[in-house]
Each structure stands twice: as structure tokens, then as C-alpha cells.
């Protein structure tokens, strides 16, 4: 039987190709992405990571053994510390007050994604939860490596690119894939199907998140008020 992570990768091939064609990704690669669009992205990603770290912490609580508790607890801390430091650097560099960013409202895409992850963390069994968490790891690694291979050294977004093309991040992705594969190997076909559905849904949310940042998609206004 093909490992779950490779089967999921193949299942989302068309979606991943669509992510690579997004204007946000192509312009980020070229270094021409508008400052305002990156400001929107980095603000929303800061909010996203705050909730993603909670989903990782809940995964640690559900983990079936001590080694996995440690792995997911470490990942939860990493989502808050390492990437938060990068975000704070970019927030200041691109003219966003970190305190204001922390108080910003989640966009519709960000709220939908994080709400789904947290609902999965609370309501679904361990195999489905880890499958839902995997796209954020693996798609970012793939996008980061692809951009790094095609981007100039003086790209203004180089620090962001280097973070997600870093071999240390790649090692964490490999650990996550191994964890998901191990969970899938000992589950039922029906639960494996639910794992795949969760993986595909979160991959779609990755597309929506980047597209939403590029479009600067927010909540609709009616009569001058956002509702």
C-alpha cells in the first residue's frame, strides 16, 4: 500500500499546481509582490499561527506515545517563537505595528481555515487531526524550495523564502509525514478516507489563504459597516 503522505500528494497534484500559479506565489518569486499584499499576508499569517499552534498543542495532548507528545509540543512552541520572530521582523520592515497586527481581525479565509483545524483537533481522532495538519508543513516546504530555486538572492522577501526552504524545516516536514503515514497504516479504510478528506480540505485552504492575501479579501461592507 502506498504511504498516506505520498497518496495525498498525488491526490492534490492539480491543486498544488494551481498554488504554484497563484499571482501571490509568482510575484513573490520574482520579488515584485506589492508591499500592501505582503502586509496583508504576514498580518493574517501571524493570526493563523497563533491558532495553528493551539491545534498542534491539542495534537500533543492526543498523541499516542511520549515521543509524539514531545514532537508536537515542540512544534507548537516553534510555531509561536521561531516564525513569530520572522513575522515581527517583517511586520516592522513593512510598516505594520506588531501590536496592531495582533489585534487585527482574521480574514474570512484565515478564520475558516483555523476554525476547521481547531474543530478537527477537538472533535476528530488522532489520524484525522495529523492529516489535517500536514498540508501546512508540506506545501510550505514545497513552495519555499521551489521559490528558492527560482528567485534572485536580492529578493526583498528572501528571509521568508529562506525560512521555508531551510533544511531544518524540511526535517520537521519529514517527521510529520512519517507520523501521518504511521497513523494511516494502523487505521481502518474508512478512517483513512476521512484522513484524505481532511488533507484535501486543508490543501484547499492553503490555496484560499494565499489568494485571499493577494486579493486582500476581507469581510463585506454593507452601508459603510463591515458585518
Q: Is 22 helix (H, G, I), strand (E, B) or coil?
A: coil
How confident is the model at residue 13, as a pLDDT?
A: 98
pLDDT(86) > 80: no
Band of residue 225 on the pLDDT scale cut at 50, 70, 90: low
According to DSSP, residue 113 is labeled H
Contact 133, 176 (CB under 8 A): yes
- The total of other beta-carbon atoms located within 10 Å of residue 41's CB is 25
**Most distant CA atoms of the chain, gap in Å:** 56
Exposed e or buried b per residue across 168-201, where buried means at least 16 C-beta atoms within 10 angstroms of its C-beta: ebbebbeebbebbbbbbeebeeebbebbbebbbb
Residue 67's pLDDT is 93
The topology under which CATH files domain 4-216 is Heme Oxygenase; Chain A (1.20.910)
**Coil, strand or helix: which one is 131?**
helix
Q: How confident is the model at residue 137 (pLDDT cuts 50, 70, 90)?
A: very high
d(CA 117, CA 128): 10
Q: What is residue 107's DSSP assignment?
A: P
- pLDDT tens readout for residues 188-211: 999 999 999 999 999 999 999 999
Q: Which tens digit of pLDDT belongs to each residue from 117-132? A: 999 999 999 999 999 9
Q: Which of 196, 194, 172, 192 is nearest to 183 (CA)?
A: 192
Stated pTM of the model: 0.93
Amino acid at each position: 500500500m502506498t504511504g498516506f503522505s505520498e497518496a495525498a500528494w498525488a491526490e492534490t497534484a492539480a491543486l498544488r499546481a494551481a498554488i504554484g500559479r497563484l499571482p501571490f506565489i509568482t510575484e513573490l518569486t520574482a520579488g515584485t509582490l506589492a508591499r500592501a499584499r505582503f502586509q496583508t499576508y504576514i498580518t493574517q499569517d501571524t493570526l493563523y499561527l497563533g491558532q495553528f499552534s493551539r491545534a498542534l498543542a491539542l495534537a500533543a495532548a492526543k498523541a499516542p506515545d511520549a515521543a509524539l507528545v514531545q514532537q508536537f509540543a515542540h512544534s507548537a512552541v516553534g510555531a509561536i517563537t521561531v516564525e513569530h520572530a520572522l513575522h515581527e521582523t517583517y511586520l516592522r520592515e513593512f510598516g505594520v505595528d506588531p501590536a496592531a497586527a495582533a489585534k487585527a481581525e482574521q480574514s474570512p479565509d484565515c478564520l475558516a481555515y483555523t476554525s476547521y483545524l481547531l474543530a478537527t483537533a477537538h472533535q476528530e481522532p488522532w489520524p484525522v487531526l495529523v492529516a489535517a495538519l500536514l498540508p501546512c508543513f508540506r506545501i510550505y516546504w514545497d513552495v519555499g524550495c521551489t521559490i528558492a530555486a527560482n528567485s534572485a538572492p536580492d529578493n526583498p522577501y528572501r528571509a521568508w523564502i529562506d525560512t521555508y526552504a531551510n533544511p531544518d524545516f524540511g526535517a520537521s516536514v519529514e517527521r510529520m509525514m512519517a507520523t501521518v503515514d504511521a497513523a494511516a497504516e494502523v487505521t481502518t479504510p474508512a478512517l483513512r478516507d476521512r484522513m484524505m478528506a481532511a488533507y484535501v480540505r486543508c490543501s484547499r485552504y492553503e490555496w484560499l489563504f494565499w489568494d485571499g492575501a493577494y486579493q486582500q479579501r476581507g469581510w463585506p461592507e454593507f452601508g459603510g459597516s463591515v458585518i
